[in-house]
Structure 1
Amino acid sequence: MNDDTSLSVEGRPAYIGPECYLHPDKMIIGDKFDIYSLGMVLWALTSGTSPFQGLSEDDIISNHLRRQSEKVKGGTPVDYIKIYQSCWQSEPEKRPSLNEILIELKKLRSTLI
Structure 2
Amino acid sequence: MIKGVNYLHKLPNPIIHRDIKSSNILMTEKGKDFLVKVADFGLAKIRHETSRKSRHGPSVGTIPWKAPELLNMGKHTEASDIYALGVVLWELATGSEPYEEADDSMISAFVLRGERLDIPGGIPSRFRELISRAWVHEPQRRPTCQELLNSMKDVFCETDVNKKPSLRIHTL
Is the shorter-chain TM-score for this pair beyond 0.5, marking a shared fold?
A: yes
2:119 counterpart (72, 82, 85): 72
How far did residue 63 of structure 1 move? Answer: 0.6
Partner of 1:19: 69
Find the aligned partners of 1:112 and 1:56 in 2 and give their Cα distance: 34
Find the aligned partners of 1:66 and 1:28 in 2 and give their Cα distance: 19
How far did residue 107 of structure 1 move? Answer: 1.8
Query: What's the Cα RMSD here?
Result: 1.7
Structure 1 stretch 34-43 or stretch 50-59: which is displaced more? 50-59
Find the aligned partners of 2:156 and 2:68 in 1 and give their Cα distance: 29
The yes-or-no answer on 1:109 pairing with 2:156 is yes
Find the aligned partners of 2:86 and 2:158 in 1 and give their Cα distance: 21
How far did residue 106 of structure 1 move? Answer: 1.2
CA offset digits 1:48-105 (Å, max 9, x no partner) = 1111111001100111121111001131011101001101111111100001101111
Find the aligned partners of 2:136 and 2:86 in 1 and give their Cα distance: 10
How far did residue 5 of structure 1 move? Answer: 5.6
1:3–1:93 distance in 2 versus 1, CA, 3 Å: farther
Partner of 1:38: 85
1:87 counterpart (134, 140, 148): 134
* SS of match in other structure, 2:123: coil
Find the aligned partners of 2:157 and 2:125 in 1 and give their Cα distance: 14
Higher relative contact order (CA 8 A, sep 6+): 1
Percent pairwise identity: 25
Q: One-letter code of the match for 1:53?
A: E
Q: One-letter code of the match for 1:59?
A: M
* SS of match in other structure, 2:153: helix
Q: CA contact under 8 A between 2:126 and 2:154: conserved in structure 1?
A: no
Structure with the larger helix share = 1
Could you tell me the TM-score, scaled by structure 2's length?
0.59
How far did residue 29 of structure 1 move? Answer: 1.8
* SS of match in other structure, 2:157: helix
